[in-house]
Amino acid sequence: MGNALIILDVTWGLFFVAATVIYLILAIYIYKKRNIGELFARSPGILIFSIASNYIDTVSSITLGIYEFLGESDYEINSIPAYIIYNISHQALFASNILRIYRLNLLEKIRTGAIVTHTKYLNRKARLTSWWNIKMSTLYIIPVSSIFIVLKVLELSYSMQNTLTHSLKSEIELAYYIFWFFTAITEQVLCFIFIYKIRNVQTSFYIKLELCLFSLIWSIGIISPLCDTYPFHLYTVPIRNLIMILVTISSLLHQTIINRVVPLPELMDSRLIIENESVHRHFRRYINRIKCEKWVIYLDILVKISIFKLKPTIQEAKIISRMLITNQMLFSENLSKDIMDGLSDTTEVEESIFDEIQIFIIDQFDTYIYPKFKNSSCYSSLAREADELLEIL
């Protein structure tokens, strides 16, 4: 038994060193390449969190498997910390990959302009930050892991003290396995739901393939209670995690090297000029730079109409009407005579007239000036500013 333990310790030590080096190299590679487009879509922060969880899960699982293989009381005592670490890292590994799938779907909505209002944009933007991901992971990991750990520690503690009756031990084991099955099936259902939601997302095929394979590989957890304990922790979990890492590495090697995706809608239209402070500021800087008074007037009127819609007052309506009448040459050729005549009555201006003018100005922006703005240095500055605000690590 002594020689066997020495061989086991040496083998475990060599594996630990090799695994540490491999996982560390992969994490450094991801960090250094974090600005590449496909890595950005994956989220380097969540990906590194996933790799770290994979590493800790693998190491703690093998440690737990060794304790279970030896099966002596001293090793059962030592196995409790290993089980706690294993369970937390297991839940973290699942949470990180689910967050990656959710993030892909959210990025698609932002890129395509499906989220255009300022409030919704800020809300969804916050969900791309590291803090939100940590918070969501914690909200999942703590309650689920706590239940598993309490049940397992109760079983091991009472078993070592020989104070656990056969009936009570069976009830605790049954509760543990029922909760395991419930959690495993719930995780699998969530995987399939999230994978289905990203079926039409415009991203790398290899990212989708990687996440689909993760979903399939993860399903092995459903059968774990049916397996012998120590072979599952000693062999099955490490092999599963190794396959997941190999899939990730293969996906990374096939990535398309493109410019970093701007985390603002790539198809932004002029509505964001009045809904987003940053867009408004950079757009105004652009039209001031090109020194075309018409676009400055259009923007001023558009802002005034937006303010009026938030808080309609007769005084504000009169100000807008005077601005429009003063600059009627910019509108008279494109707006109907009824609308222009309606502006002359400064005592009562129908709100529908302002709606028509707002639509006209936005259409003018979309048709003539906004495409040029998107190719300007001002837009590039806007993109960089938005990118920094996202705080995606």
End-to-end CA distance of the chain: 48
Q: What is the pLDDT averaged over residues 296-325?
A: 81
3-state class of 353 per DSSP? helix
pLDDT above 90: percentage of residues in the chain: 0
Which residue would you say has higher pLDDT here, 85 or 310? Answer: 85
Lookup: tokens for 171:
């009830």
Compute the distance between CA of residue 46 and CA of residue 97 in angstroms, rounded to an integer. 8
Compute the distance between CA of residue 36 and CA of residue 44 in angstroms, rounded to an integer. 10
The answer to which of 23-27, 52-56, 300-304 has the lowest mean pLDDT is 23-27
Compute the distance between CA of residue 233 and CA of residue 59 in angstroms, rounded to an integer. 10
- Answer whether residue 262 shows pLDDT above 60: no
Close Cβ partners of 223 (under 8 Å, ≥ 6 residues apart): none
State if pTM tops 0.75.
Answer: no
- Answer whether residue 263 shows pLDDT above 70: no
| One-character DSSP codes across 251-272 | HHHT----PPPPSS-TT--TTH
Compute the distance between CA of residue 321 and CA of residue 329 in angstroms, rounded to an integer. 14
Compute the distance between CA of residue 274 and CA of residue 52 in angstroms, rounded to an integer. 43
* Banded model confidence at residue 256, pLDDT cuts 50, 70, 90: very low
Compute the distance between CA of residue 234 and CA of residue 184 in angstroms, rounded to an integer. 20
- 287-305 residue pLDDT tens: 888 888 888 888 888 888 8
Q: Which domains does the chain have, with CATH numbers?
A: 2-253 (1.20.1070), 272-390 (1.10.167.10)
Compute the distance between CA of residue 55 and CA of residue 70 in angstroms, rounded to an integer. 23
* Banded model confidence at residue 259, pLDDT cuts 50, 70, 90: very low
DSSP secondary structure code for residue 51 in this structure: H
Lookup: tokens for 368:
């003539």
The answer to whether the beta carbons of residues 104 and 46 sit under 8 Å apart is no
Q: What is the pLDDT averaged over residues 281-285?
A: 84
CA trace torsion 322, 323, 328, 332 (10° rounding): -100
Compute the distance between CA of residue 123 and CA of residue 125 in angstroms, rounded to an integer. 5
